[in-house]
Amino acid sequence: MKTNFSKLIVLFILSFFTISNCIVFSQSNIKKGFKFGLELKDYLTENTGSFNKSFGFTFGGFTAIKLYSFSKSDLLLRTEFSFVKLQYHNPGNKIYTAIDTLDVNWNGLNYLVIDEKHWFNTLELGLIPEYQLQLNENISLELFLGPSLGIGTANSDSKQSDHNHSIFGVESGGGFSLVYPTSLNFGLSLYFNQIVFDVRYRYTKLNNYSRKTDFTNVYAQIGITL
């Protein structure tokens, strides 16, 4: 599965170069490039239990199609191809089961305490309307609001945080399944020469995944234009 997903990432990068070059062939003033960003809200606020803190992240390419021009601004349709790692933790989950009460480590409770980590690796396409304002020759500002959708895998791991023993045992990890995320992206991008800074709020709904269906994240990204 990992090999197949790596092939998808390579295919995604090649597809981006092909499509973006076709899109901007007659629009030389349209910016295109790559951005990398970290998820900040969950990293700063989420309780991870016995798991170490780690960042969700996004990496991808972007370009745009000009829809309408004003004197000092433009209305664009941004196109983004992104690899997104989304994650969440569920610490202190109580698993009620048959406990070995004769074990010397039994704490008198009839459940196990399990910390869970879930993460999702997805490839996503965004078609996001944006308003671009040229502030001066070197600086422009973009405001954007729009959707993205994708496909990826759901993975999980777990750690027991107490010393109770189940008579039936307990699984220490999880497998993977397919997910189909749909997201709404809202934020702004600041361009200074060839550098771009991007801050966005992102609401994601995971289709075909029942454990947790809704996510709200904040990403800070930096990138370069080509």
Residue 80 CA to residue 210 CA, distance in Å, equals 27
Specify which residues 139 forms β-bridges with: 192
Alpha carbon distance 136, 193 (integer Å): 10
pTM: 0.82
76 Cβ partners below 8 Å, 6+ apart?
30, 64, 65, 66, 67, 129, 130, 131, 132, 142
Q: What is the CA radius of gyration of the chain?
A: 22
Which pLDDT score, from 0 to 100, does residue 28 have? 45
Domain ranges of the chain: 2-64+85-122+150-179+195-225
pLDDT at 24: 43
* Tokens 């999880």 belong to residue: 174
* Sequence-separated (6 or more) residues with CB below 8 Å from residue 44: none
Residues of the chain under the 70 pLDDT cut = 1-29, 169-176
Q: How far apart are CA 63 and CA 31, in angstroms?
A: 6
The whole-number pLDDT of residue 210 equals 79
> For residue range 12-31, what is the model confidence (pLDDT) as tens digits?
555 555 444 544 444 446 88
Q: For residues 130 and 72, give the distance between their C-alpha atoms in angstroms, rounded to a whole number.
A: 14
So what's the pLDDT on residue 163?
87
